[in-house]
Structure formats: C-alpha cells, structure tokens
Amino acid sequence: MNRERLESELERFEGDADARRVVARQARDLADSGLVAEDLGYELTVDTIVDELADAPADHSLVERWNWWIGSLELSHGGYEQFQVRVY
C-alpha cells in the first residue's frame, strides 16, 4: 500500500496534514500486519481504505472515521484495537 498516495487521497476528509499522516501510518501498519487479508480475504489498498472511511458518519473527522472503521473491525473480528488512533 502506497502511504504517500493514501495521504493525498485522505485530503477529501476533514483533517490537517498531521491527521492524514497519523491515519496513513496506522493504515500502513494495518496493511503490513496482514490481518485484513486473513480476516476478510483481500489485500488492504488505498481505494479500500478511502471507501471504508467514506462509509463513516458524515460529521466525523478523519481520525474519527478511521477509529469508527477500526472499531467495527474490532467488534467483528478482534485484534484491531492496536490500530486505533488514541491520542491526536
């Protein structure tokens, strides 16, 4: 997964450069972990992440969107809590 491309694509959601960088770093760590491929059967891509974040409530910031998605993965499969953005 291309972290620089993801940071660029995340500009469509509210959030400054720091928020984009933090989310992109967590996304890269998630992709490297292989959990999504193992649990859901597909590789994590920039497009997948953007699509998932677009499904979050419209009033959520970028970090809130990320944590919303990661929270749903945690509820359904477990093992994703470590990828949440805790302090921003």
Question: How many Å is the maximal CA-CA distance in the chain?
Answer: 32
Full pLDDT tens readout for the chain, 88 residues? 899 999 999 999 988 999 999 999 999 999 999 999 999 999 999 999 999 999 999 999 999 999 999 999 999 999 999 999 987 5
Instruction: Read off the tokens for 69.
Output: 């998605």
Q: What is the pTM of this model?
A: 0.94
Domain ranges of the chain: 3-78
